């Protein structure tokens, strides 16, 4: 017997999906103002949570957060000298303190290690261990299956457009961060 999942979503007059509960709460929040951007932000958040849930299921309870997984994947693509905490932080768009904690977790689990920077003896770098490579190898197939399932029936063109739209959101957020950093938090958002 095939399970039929009722997502609670509806379709608007143009045939696009929306969440009636989110729409109602955003209309109350916006006090009658336009809610299109707010609903879209909620949809992005829901999609991100769905992908993260699948990713964590692929981790089969091995306890790596999405952030730690991202660091481990970046370390797997690095040279043998590894990457500095600053390089990892810039690549992930997070603070060095955040990355330090993620590297601590990976090091505790034997998936990464800190090594002295050969060019600057005062600095350390992180690099993946053989156990980290094995962990990623065992994670790869379940993750590929999960992502294939979550994006089932999407064409390559739709996936490319979706990726582009998501990254446009990221660029806009980075532009706002830069503006607020330069102009100060009391300035209106551009």
Query: How does pLDDT run across 11-43, given as a tens digit for each residue?
Result: 999 999 999 999 999 999 988 888 899 999 999
Is residue 149 pLDDT above 60, yes or no? yes
State how far the alpha carbon of 178 is from the alpha carbons of 20, 83, 91, 92, 117, in Å.
34, 25, 16, 16, 30
How much is the CA Rg of the chain, to the nearest whole Å?
A: 21
pLDDT tens-digit series, residues 45-80: 988 888 877 776 655 556 678 788 889 999 999 998
Mapped onto helix, strand or coil, the DSSP state of residue 122 is coil
- Residues making up the chain, counted from first to last: 190
Question: Which helix (H) or strand (E) covers residue 128, if one does?
Answer: strand 124-128
Is residue 7 pLDDT above 60, yes or no? yes
**Residues 89/99, Cβ–Cβ less than 8 Å:** yes
Partnered with residue 127 across adjacent β-strands are 113
> Which distant-in-sequence residues (6+ apart) come within 8 Å of 84 by Cβ?
117, 123, 124, 125, 126
pLDDT (mean) for 150-165 = 94
Q: What is the pLDDT of residue 56?
A: 67
Q: What is the pTM of this model?
A: 0.68
Assign 107 a pLDDT band (cuts: 50, 70, 90): very high
Is residue 100 pLDDT above 70, yes or no? yes
State how far the alpha carbon of 49 is from the alpha carbons of 52, 81, 96, 188, in Å.
5, 34, 24, 30
Is residue 6 pLDDT above 60, yes or no? no
- Nearest residue to 126 (alpha-carbon basis) of 86, 67, 98, 66: 86
- Nearest residue to 67 (alpha-carbon basis) of 164, 19, 5, 75: 75
Sign of the C-alpha dihedral computed for residues 43, 46, 52 and 55 taken in this order:
negative
Q: What is the pLDDT of residue 1?
A: 42
Q: What percent of the chain has pLDDT over 70?
A: 89
Question: Which residue in this structure is represented by tokens 């390089």?
Answer: 87
């Amino acid at each position: 017997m095939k399970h039929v999942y009722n997502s609670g979503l509806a379709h608007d007059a143009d045939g696009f999906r929306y969440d009636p509960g989110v729409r109602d709460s955003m209309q109350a929040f916006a006090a009658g103002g336009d809610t299109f951007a707010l609903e879209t932000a909620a949809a992005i958040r829901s999609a991100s949570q769905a992908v993260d849930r699948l990713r964590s299921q692929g981790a089969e309870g091995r306890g790596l957060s999405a952030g730690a997984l991202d660091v481990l994947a970046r370390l797997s693509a690095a040279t043998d000298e590894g990457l500095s905490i600053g390089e990892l932080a810039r690549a992930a768009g997070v603070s060095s303190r955040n990355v330090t904690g993620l590297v601590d977790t990976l090091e505790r689990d034997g998936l990464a290690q800190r090594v002295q920077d050969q060019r600057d003896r005062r600095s350390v770098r992180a690099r993946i261990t053989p156990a980290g490579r094995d962990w990623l190898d065992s994670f790869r197939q379940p993750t590929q299956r999960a992502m294939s399932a979550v994006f089932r029936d999407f064409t390559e063109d739709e996936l490319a457009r979706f990726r582009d739209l998501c990254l446009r959101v990221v660029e806009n957020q980075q532009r706002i961060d830069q503006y607020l950093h330069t102009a100060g938090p009391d300035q209106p958002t551009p």
